[in-house]
Amino acid sequence: MKNITMLLLFSILFSCSTIDSGKKDNKLKGFYSYMADAGIFIDCETNKKHPVAFEADNISLERAYLKIVENPGEKIIVTLTGHFESRPKMEGEGEREFLIVDKFDKIWPHIDCVRNLGTANLKNTFWSLRELNGKSIKDYKIEREIHLLIKHDNSIKGFSGCNNYFGNSSTRNDTLQFSQIESTLMMCENMEIEKEYFQTLEKINMYKIYGEYLYLYDEEKLLAKFESVYFN
């Protein structure tokens, strides 16, 4: 009788552990897109497409995506901790496997499933300007790259389209502000981009780094996007 009782107890414990392991959180990487109030996740490992449930840490993922997306419905690589559960389909009968986002990690623009997820540092990185106030820097026809370098002592230097500039910065958590910006006094044919660039730097109060891209904000409004550049 004792042996039977022990066997039943072992069976119950084994059964419970099997159920728990089926819902164990996984580190996931895949393409995320959001359109028409619906999120879709395509797993890099399995290439399966899953709708994303509106629960747990989904709101963090959704907000990060909407902050940087350039085109509606654009697919961007994300990393997260999550699991899959069968739920009733949003349309039609039957069930479908939904992704439950237990913990959103990061979003990685301009990365695919194959490339490694490198993350640049804010300081001592050569940041080359890619967009300014929603406009591609290519439209300005600048001969040299407009760029920014923030040193470890928080001093800054760079090139603004015509002149070299320098100044100071202050950071704390995800806040970033520039101050005491000065420049050389050369005159060029097109000074408009430089003027707009300096005016934009004065408004910055937040930053985010996603992979190799630096995003600068005025509160929630994206003002400038930079890409890290490495020299051999």
| pLDDT tens digit sequence for 7-44 | 444 443 333 333 333 445 688 999 999 988 899 999 98
Chain center to CA of 106: 5
- The answer to whether residue 11 is domain-embedded is no
Rounded-to-integer distance, Cα 33 and Cα 78, Å: 10
In this structure, are 144 and 99 located in the same domain? no
Q: What's the DSSP call for residue 53?
A: P
| pLDDT tens digit sequence for 186-223 | 998 878 999 999 999 999 999 988 888 999 999 889 99
pLDDT band at residue 116 using 50, 70 and 90 as cut-offs? low
In this structure, are 131 and 225 located in the same domain? yes
The domain in which residue 78 lies consists of: 26-108
This prediction has a pTM of 0.66
Rounded-to-integer distance, Cα 96 and Cα 53, Å: 11
What's the CATH number where 147 sits?
2.40.128.270
Quote the percentage of the chain above a pLDDT of 90: 59
- The answer to whether residue 16 is domain-embedded is no
